[in-house]
Amino acid sequence: MEKTKFEYGLIKVKGHSGVKGNEEADRVAKNDTGKSTCITINDSQQKDLKYDLYWDGKRVDRHIRKFIDNLCGSALEASWSFNRTHRTIFQDTTHMIEEKVTWAIFKKNTGFNCTTTTVNNNFIKHLKLTNNLLPTLEIMKERRYDLYGDVKCRLCLVENEDDDHIIYCQQLRDKWLIMANNTINKCEQMFKDFLSKKEYIQLNQEDIQQLHLWNRNFFVHTTGFNQELPIPFVHLMLRNLFPKGRYRELRSIVKSEKATLTIASLFLEMFITEFYKVIWQSRCDIVADWERTKGIKKQDLRKKISAQQRIVYERIPTQQVEDGTYNLKGRKIFKCGEQWSVALEKTRQYINQFIKNGNRRVVKAFTKAI
Ligand SMILES: [Zn+2]
């Protein structure tokens, strides 16, 4: 402002003072969608100013701030779907997961400016899982093929150890059952503490029993459950994704949305903590032993090797079929452009739906007025 020699002043406007612009701003802030235009300023000095917000050729008859919020939210969802590792699961799992819980966990672990090391470490743990970046042997091979060569999973010694193999490895099956049990037991204790603090949630005796039952039966096999998995939902929960069905059940027990979200994210967090403790830690101990016998040291891994020494290793095997590329589990791998159009179409539908609902409300109010 100083640069442009702009003259300015601040004037405090009293509430309800009858200043037209101020009254109008008040009206809009109170989410008055009954009027046909969003902001109308009738000022005697200027000509009547009328603002209409248009989106994709349609007038937005809603509270503008809410609309922008929603628009930003959808854009975030769309960009979320661009995440390389989610490209393959984007199409077949979005209807199975409750994204709110994932966001709740990430929000909990990100500070505005600085965070403590513990919070930061938690954040990294979740982030790595979400992006399939756990340093499995397959990832280590990609980085340093010269050191890791064709090493197989150190537990079964047969298959390549990628993040899927951690779920499917036969040698880890018992450990998965143990960690599922641990999760349930620890959550039971946590729910007891949670329920004892009456300010958070109030449930009658029957609901409390239902909640404990929900927890006890969380990993009980459901119909259509993929028998190859060691426990149900592990492929989702290991990516910080919470199964939608279980979320709905929980919601019908505790009623309040806020409490549902809190309990679900506590459960998911406990699951991840137990995963690191029971599965990942024990796997790492074994791999560390193997690395010692091979003479691979931590400082070797930090060193960068020259380009001509580097051996390229392609981790994800794919199959080329007529209409596109598929991974070995038969999931289509989108090209970036295709991903764009799917995501954009999703956003567009969502926003249009949102506008339509808004208009419906206005029409209702209008017909009532007549
Ligand atoms: Zn294995």
The CA-CA-CA angle for residues 263, 265, 266, to 5°, reads 65
* CA 272 to ligand 1 centroid distance, Å: 20
Choose the weakest-confidence range: 65-79, 117-131, 311-325: 311-325
* CA 211 to ligand 1 centroid distance, Å: 36
Protein residues placing their CB within 5 Å of the ion ligand 1: 153, 155-156, 169
* CA 36 to ligand 1 centroid distance, Å: 64
Per residue in 286-340, pLDDT (tens digit) is: 999 999 998 888 888 887 777 777 777 766 666 666 666 666 666 666 666 666 6
pLDDT for the residue numbered 90: 47
Cβ proximity of 302 and 296 under 8 Å: no
* CA 280 to ligand 1 centroid distance, Å: 13
143 has pLDDT over 90? no
* CA 316 to ligand 1 centroid distance, Å: 17
Per residue in 249-270, pLDDT (tens digit) is: 999 998 888 889 999 999 999 9
- pTM for this predicted structure: 0.65
Long-range contacts of 252-261 (CB under 8 A, 24+ apart): 253/203, 253/207, 253/210, 253/211, 253/214, 254/201, 254/203, 254/207, 254/211, 256/201, 259/200, 259/201, 261/100, 261/101, 261/104
How many residues would you count in the chain? 370
* CA 308 to ligand 1 centroid distance, Å: 32
Share of the chain above pLDDT 70, in %: 66
pLDDT for the residue numbered 63: 80
